[in-house]
């Protein structure tokens, strides 16, 4: 009798183990779909991934997670029986998203090793832009593609030319003229009158020989429409003025000045708001000809810098005095000082004052 009892227990245990070994197995028709090329203005596109349960117990899709808000998912909510199929439909809205499609969708189920990754691929072709989108800077009826021209690096005595594009949104001709033009900039509109619904150009010439400055510079001028000074009618012209060292010979480079700082960063630690930070950045001319300090620019008005001398002979030392007035500043601070010289190897050096300003205690 006892033998029969133990045999029954073994049979029941074996049946339980067999049931535990049974589980759902999801099998997708594909894990990647490529939409190919689609138009941005064409509206939402969708694809349905089919999943078959090739396991022995019902498959349950618990959750579908998409990689961004541009995809939405619909999926089979009821259990998928063995040898049956379910569907996961993914929708993609291309509006405002020109360029490549590369979306990940993670499917979580009750199957072992849950977390299957599906992918959407494709290319969204940008829709044609309207005139209002192209010429988005508006001064009355005049539209500009932008109101900033960046000439990038401009060498000393170099002249560069660039173009601004404009459009007349009005129903009548408009005249274009300019005001507050600095002497190093020449600006003109070849079309003195711009017809309605027509495009035109503005030619801007930058002559660095007329500008006694170094490093990053920004100039501002005004564009007048029919002689009117309209709100916001500023055109910004920027450039970085640098010396052209590319034509120096090996001998000239060997005999050039060299600027060497004893340190380029000073950590003033932790101080109270309102305290003054002062530091001397010491440097030496280790080259073979005169070192000239072209320009010193601080990152903001709270930092003042004054060089002791601007022409340093070979072997001589000098220093820059930096002061940071901490009133109105709290927390971690990093103030930069840009030094521009005639050193062909390091014509621009950035110094930094860093530290933490503790706020004044509340009274």
Contact 50, 82 (CB under 8 A): no
For residue 118, is it left (φ>0), alpha (ψ between -120 and 50) or beta?
beta
Same domain, 32 and 119: yes
Assess if residue 4 is contained within a domain.
Answer: no
Looking at the predicted structure, is the pLDDT value of residue 284 above 90?
yes
Which of these three, 93, 125, 157, is where a domain ends?
A: 125
CATH code where residue 204 lies: 2.60.40.10
Same domain, 112 and 43: yes
Same domain, 32 and 79: yes
Assess if residue 288 is contained within a domain.
Answer: yes
Contact 173, 133 (CB under 8 A): no
Same domain, 157 and 232: yes
Same domain, 284 and 332: yes
Residue of 209, 212, 208 lying closest to 237 (CA atoms): 208
| Whole-Å CA distances, 128 to 44, 91, 137, 156, 185 | 18, 23, 18, 41, 34
Assess if residue 14 is contained within a domain.
Answer: no
For residue 200, the enclosing domain spans: 131-242
Question: How many structural domains comprise the chain?
Answer: 3
Same domain, 329 and 258: yes
Assess if residue 139 is contained within a domain.
Answer: yes
Quickly state the pLDDT bin for 110 (edges 50, 70, 90).
very high
Assess if residue 103 is contained within a domain.
Answer: yes
Same domain, 259 and 354: yes
The DSSP string of 171-208 is SS-EEEEEES--TTEEEE-S-SEE-TT-EEEEEEEEEG
Quickly state the pLDDT bin for 248 (edges 50, 70, 90).
very high
Q: How many residues does the chain have?
A: 363
pLDDT at 68: 75
Same domain, 150 and 193: yes
Angle at 175 between CA 173 and CA 179, to 5 degrees: 160
**Which run of H or E residues covers position 254?**
helix 250-254
Assess if residue 363 is contained within a domain.
Answer: no
Same domain, 115 and 27: yes
Assess if residue 169 is contained within a domain.
Answer: yes
Which of these three, 100, 125, 150, is where a domain ends?
A: 125
Q: Per-residue pLDDT tens for 114-149? A: 889 999 999 999 999 899 999 999 999 999 999 999
Which of these three, 78, 102, 125, is where a domain ends?
A: 125
Whether the pTM exceeds 0.85: the reply is no
Q: Per-residue pLDDT tens for 79-106? A: 999 999 999 999 999 998 999 999 999 9
For the segment 38-45, the average pLDDT, to the nearest whole number, is 92
Q: Token pair 């503005």 is at which residue?
A: 202
Same domain, 136 and 238: yes
Same domain, 201 and 232: yes
Same domain, 293 and 308: yes
Q: Per-residue pLDDT tens for 259-280? A: 999 999 999 999 999 999 999 9
Assess if residue 324 is contained within a domain.
Answer: yes
Looking at the predicted structure, is the pLDDT value of residue 171 above 80?
yes
């Amino acid at each position: 009798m006892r033998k029969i009892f133990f045999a029954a227990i073994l049979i029941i245990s074996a049946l339980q183990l067999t049931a535990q070994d049974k589980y759902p197995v999801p099998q997708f028709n594909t894990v990647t779909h490529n939409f190919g090329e689609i138009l941005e203005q064409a509206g939402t596109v969708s694809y349905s991934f089919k999943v078959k349960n090739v396991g022995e117990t019902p498959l349950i899709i618990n959750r579908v997670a998409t990689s961004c808000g541009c995809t939405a998912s619909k999926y089979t909510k009821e259990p998928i029986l063995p040898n049956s199929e379910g569907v996961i439909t993914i929708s993609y809205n291309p509006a405002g998203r020109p360029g490549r499609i590369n979306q990940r969708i993670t499917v979580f189920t009750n199957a072992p090793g849950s977390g299957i990754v599906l992918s959407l691929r494709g290319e969204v072709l940008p829709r044609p832009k309207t005139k209002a989108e192209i010429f988005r800077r508006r001064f009355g009826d005049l539209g500009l593609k932008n109101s900033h021209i960046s000439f990038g690096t401009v060498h000393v005595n170099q002249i560069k030319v660039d173009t601004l594009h404009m459009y007349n949104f009005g129903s009548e001709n408009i005249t274009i003229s300019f005001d507050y033009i600095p002497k190093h900039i020449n600006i003109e509109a070849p079309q003195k009158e711009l017809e309605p619904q027509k495009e035109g150009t503005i030619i801007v010439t930058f002559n660095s020989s007329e500008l006694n400055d170094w490093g990053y510079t920004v100039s501002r001028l005004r564009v007048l429409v029919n002689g009117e000074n309209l709100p916001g009618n500023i055109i910004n012209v920027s450039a970085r003025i640098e010396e052209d060292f590319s034509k120096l010979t090996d001998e000239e480079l060997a005999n050039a000045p060299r600027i060497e700082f004893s340190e380029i960063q000073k950590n003033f630690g932790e101080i109270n708001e309102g305290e003054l930070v002062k530091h001397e950045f010491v440097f030496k001319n280790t080259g073979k000809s005169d070192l000239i300090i072209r320009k010193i620019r601080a990152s903001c008005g709270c930092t003042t810098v004054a060089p002791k001398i601007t022409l340093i002979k070979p072997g001589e030392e000098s220093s820059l005095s930096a002061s940071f007035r901490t009133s109105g500043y709290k927390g971690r601070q990093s103030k930069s000082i840009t030094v521009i010289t005639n050193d062909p190897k390091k014509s621009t050096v950035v110094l930094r004052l860093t530290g933490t300003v503790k706020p004044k205690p509340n009274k």
